[in-house]
């Protein structure tokens, strides 16, 4: 298993949070009228991952060149943690020609073939894709793995079950990650899911299922490392459910009235200040370092946003390029 490097984990979580915080700002900055999601510099819906950084960072710390991730509609944390270029990703979110998909995909459709990263707005759609990638890895005889990420609501889609079944039948090197943030848009798990933990569902497909209850990057790091090592060694698929936290709305502009009192305590449960405090207590992080890590991340994010804003908007006729029909 990879060696635990606390400072690296912390730095990556801060980098992601800086990114999401700035996108949040930029998204709302010029959205007029505020209810028109098509307006402004960043058009379309926006699903930010603040609070879920430990899941992405704990998992991706074990990935190497050639490993694949299929992420869901809330993809930024996994994209950044997996090494997708921040500038190209930001340009895509802004709909610019320098973006990963030349501005045609937007924030839910970030495709980076070089890093084997993709995501989709279609719920659970990444699960079968990861099986395909894992099958290719297996046939090529590499020790690469595919990681499929979805939310707990997605585990009620047929694609989830078909993928677990297929991966088990073919003994594929895939790790199925469920980010359980308690809310499938506005639906709590108890209203949609017949079992309390999707780790239980793994048993039905003959694979190990593990639930990490704490949104703690070190607990996630260990569990993900075990699942990924297992897949690399040819021991087959496994399912890792991570109980994480959606710090903000399902989408930007979501009033979250459905969350009730639970919403009052989200800030106390923010995993990043908690981890910083732990590292300070362990003597592995100083106040100065905290500031310099934040400043470094902010500078990188500023540069990525400046790159996106300065990049050209696609011409109307480009709409007819790179399409099947």
Partner 1 sequence: MCRAPSPSERNEGRVKRGSSVGIIANPASARDIRRLVAHGAAVTTNDKITILRRVLAGLASTDVTHVLSMTDLAGISAGLWALADKPSAACWPKLEFVDQVVEQTAADTVAATEAMVAAGVGAIVVLGGDGTNRIVASVCDDIPLVSISTGTNNAFARRIEPTVAGIAAGLVATGRVDVGAVVSRAKVLTVESGSRSERALVDVAVIDGDVVGAGAVWDPATISQLFLCFAEPDAIGLSSIGGQVCPTDRFDPAGLVVDIGRPAVRTLRAPIAPGLVVGVDVASVSTLAPGQAVVVRASSGVVALDGERLFRFGRHDRPIVTLGSDGPLELDVRETLAQAARTGVMSVPGRRCA
Cα distance from N-terminal residue to C-terminal residue, the chain: 47
Does residue 187 interact with partner 1 by CB under 8 A?
Answer: no
Residue 136 vs 266, nearer CB to partner 1: 266
Does residue 261 interact with partner 1 by CB under 8 A?
Answer: no
Between CA 193 and CA 197 the distance in angstroms is 9
Residue 314 DSSP code? P
Subset of 202-241 contacting partner 1 (CB under 8 A): 202-203, 208-213, 218-219, 221-223, 226-227, 230, 238
Residue 60 vs 80, nearer CB to partner 1: 60
Residue in 200, 296, 300, 318 binding partner 1, rule: CB under 8 A: 200
Between CA 321 and CA 324 the distance in angstroms is 9
Return the residue matching tokens 């790790």: 175
- Helix/strand/coil for 266: coil
Question: In terms of C-beta density within 10 A (0-12 exposed, 13-18 middle, 19 or more buried), how is residue 282 classed?
Answer: exposed
Number of residues that bind partner 1 (CB under 8 A): 26
Does residue 282 interact with partner 1 by CB under 8 A?
Answer: yes
Residue 218 vs 318, nearer CB to partner 1: 218
Q: Shortest approach of partner 1 to residue 202 CB, angstroms?
A: 7
Does residue 197 interact with partner 1 by CB under 8 A?
Answer: yes
Residue 114 vs 214, nearer CB to partner 1: 214
Residue 71 CB coordination number (10 Å): 28
Q: Shortest approach of partner 1 to residue 14 CB, angstroms?
A: 20
Q: Shortest approach of partner 1 to residue 216 CB, angstroms?
A: 8
Does residue 3 interact with partner 1 by CB under 8 A?
Answer: no
Q: Describe the strand order of the beta sheet including 238-243 as a list of residue ranges.
A: 117-119, 68-71, 146-151, 174-180, 238-243, 209-212
Which ranges constitute the DSSP H helices of the chain? 6-29, 53-60, 76-81, 86-93, 126-140, 158-169, 189-192, 198-203, 217-232, 271-282, 287-310
Cα 25 to the center of its chain, rounded Å: 20
Q: Shortest approach of partner 1 to residue 229 CB, angstroms?
A: 8
Q: Shortest approach of partner 1 to residue 17 CB, angstroms?
A: 22
Choose among 5, 147, 140: nearest CA to 75: 147
Q: Shortest approach of partner 1 to residue 214 CB, angstroms?
A: 9
Q: Shortest approach of partner 1 to residue 154 CB, angstroms?
A: 19
Interacting residues with partner 1 (CB under 8 A): 4, 190, 195-197, 199-200, 202-203, 208-213, 218-219, 221-223, 226-227, 230, 238, 243, 282
């Amino acid at each position: 298993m990879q060696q635990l490097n606390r400072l690296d984990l912390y730095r990556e979580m801060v980098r992601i949070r800086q990114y999401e915080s700035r996108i949040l700002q930029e998204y709302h900055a010029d959205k007029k009228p505020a209810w028109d999601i098509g307006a402004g510099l960043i058009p379309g819906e926006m699903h930010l991952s603040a609070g879920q950084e430990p899941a992405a960072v704990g998992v991706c710390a074990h990935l190497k060149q050639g490993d694949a991730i299929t992420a869901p509609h809330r993809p930024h944390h996994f994209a950044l943690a997996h090494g997708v270029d921040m500038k190209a990703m930001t340009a895509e979110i802004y709909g610019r020609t320098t973006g990963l998909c030349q501005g045609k995909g937007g924030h839910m459709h970030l495709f980076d073939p070089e890093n084997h990263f993709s995501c989709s707005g279609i719920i659970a759609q990444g699960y079968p894709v990861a099986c395909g990638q894992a099958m290719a890895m297996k046939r090529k005889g590499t020790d690469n793995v595919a990681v499929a990420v979805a939310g707990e609501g997605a585990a009620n889609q047929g694609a989830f079950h078909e993928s677990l079944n297929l991966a088990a039948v073919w003994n594929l090197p895939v790790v199925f990650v469920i980010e359980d943030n308690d809310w499938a848009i506005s639906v709590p798990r108890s209203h949609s899911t017949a079992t309390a933990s999707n780790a239980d569902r793994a048993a039905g497909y003959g694979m190990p299922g593990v639930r990490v209850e704490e949104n703690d990057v070190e607990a996630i790091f260990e569990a993900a490392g075990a699942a990924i090592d297992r897949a690399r060694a040819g021991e087959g698929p496994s399912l890792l459910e991570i109980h994480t936290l959606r710090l903000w709305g399902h989408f930007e502009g979501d009033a979250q009235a459905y969350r009730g009192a639970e919403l009052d305590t989200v800030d106390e449960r923010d995993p990043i200040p908690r981890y910083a405090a732990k590292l300070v207590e362990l003597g592995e992080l100083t106040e100065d370092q905290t500031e310099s890590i934040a400043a470094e991340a902010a500078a990188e994010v500023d540069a990525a946003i400046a790159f996106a804003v300065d990049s050209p908007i696609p011409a109307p006729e480009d709409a007819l390029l790179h399409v099947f029909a």
